[in-house]
Amino acid sequence: MKNKGRLLVAFAMVSILTAAFCSVSSAQAKQEYYELKVYHLAWGAGQEGKVDAFLKDVYIPALHRAGIAKVGVFKPIETDVLSGKRIFVFIPVKTLDQYLSLQDVLSKDKVYTEAGKSFIDAPYNEAPYARFESILLKAFKNMPQPFFPAYTNPVSERVYELRSYESATEAKAAKKIKMFNEGGEINIFTALKFNAVFYAEVVSGSAMPNLMYMTTFTDNGSREEHWKAFGAAPEWKTLSGLEEYKNTVSNIDRYLLRPTNYSDF
């Protein structure tokens, strides 16, 4: 029994030290930035194929040459009301300067400008998309860098869930961000293995003040099981019941997505 007790104490100490190390590492890591580019497509105009070809053969290879190793491309699943109307492109950058200089870097890439000319400079009456929006995000301090899951099941089964949480005021938004960081909401997601790609504050976008995050699952059944476990978690019930975090979210937009076959993750 004494040996068992010593083992339990040792295990507890290892867990504490590991948690402390992870906390220090997270604190030392610099918060990265992300661009979420959303292409809005018109029905019946053949735009989806044009955007796919540009992203796959021109844009993503150019981003790789610019030092961005992993780019995610996602489309709404068939049961989503937005199916076929949007394409989401996730672009992680190390610094704000890298983001601001990216367009200049691409403009000097002759392979990119030549291969992409028919898309970038398409005739006004043959536009390859209806519009695109660009959302700039800054990673949360408790997850300062993105995580790229490596699933082995078919791409057609995987589910990536993108959520946007809007708040009524900037102060309420700051409280919700605190809930994810200091409050421990990220820790709950991590413990339940939601395999989040990122958690981030929107620095510039059309629905501010808001935050966005993306969780990933092997399939929709797994997604449903994970959310059921999250709702039942004692830690979540305690956290969500705190008066400090009441009314911090005024609207939630949820997008169920699947990676394209040319997405990097």
pLDDT in tens, 124-157: 999 999 999 999 999 999 999 999 999 999 999 9
- Structurally, the chain folds into a number of domains equal to 1
Q: How far is CA 249 from CA 194, 224, 231, in A?
A: 21, 22, 17
Q: How many CB atoms lie within 10 A of CB 159?
A: 19
Q: Could you tell me the pLDDT band of residue 74, with boundaries at 50, 70 and 90?
A: very high
User: Residue 22 domain-assigned?
Assistant: no
In this predicted structure, what is the pLDDT of residue 6? 42
Nearest to 154 by CA among 80, 226, 218, 89: 218
User: Residue 8 domain-assigned?
Assistant: no
User: Residue 265 domain-assigned?
Assistant: no
List the CATH number of the domain containing 47. 3.30.70.100
User: Residue 36 domain-assigned?
Assistant: yes
User: Residue 99 domain-assigned?
Assistant: yes
User: Which helix (DSSP H) or strand (DSSP E) does residue 222 occupy?
Assistant: helix 220-232
Contact status, residue 143 vs residue 25, Cβ threshold 8 Å: no
Q: Which two tokens stand for residue 130?
A: 């209806």
Count Cβ atoms within 10 A of the Cβ of residue 165 and give its class: 0-12 exposed, 13-18 middle, 19 or more buried. buried
Per the structure, the complete domain to which residue 222 belongs is given by 30-259
- Please give the DSSP secondary-structure letter assigned to residue 243: G
What is the distance between the alpha carbons of residues 216 and 202, in angstroms, rounded to a whole number?
20
Q: Report residue 162: phi and psi, to 5°.
A: -100, 130
In this predicted structure, what is the pLDDT of residue 249? 98
Lowest mean pLDDT segment, chosen from 9-23, 127-141, 188-202, 221-235: 9-23
User: pLDDT tens for residues 59-68?
Assistant: 999 999 999 9
Q: How many CB atoms lie within 10 A of CB 98?
A: 16
In this predicted structure, what is the pLDDT of residue 1? 43
User: Residue 248 domain-assigned?
Assistant: yes
User: Residue 104 domain-assigned?
Assistant: yes
User: Residue 115 domain-assigned?
Assistant: yes
| pTM for this prediction | 0.88
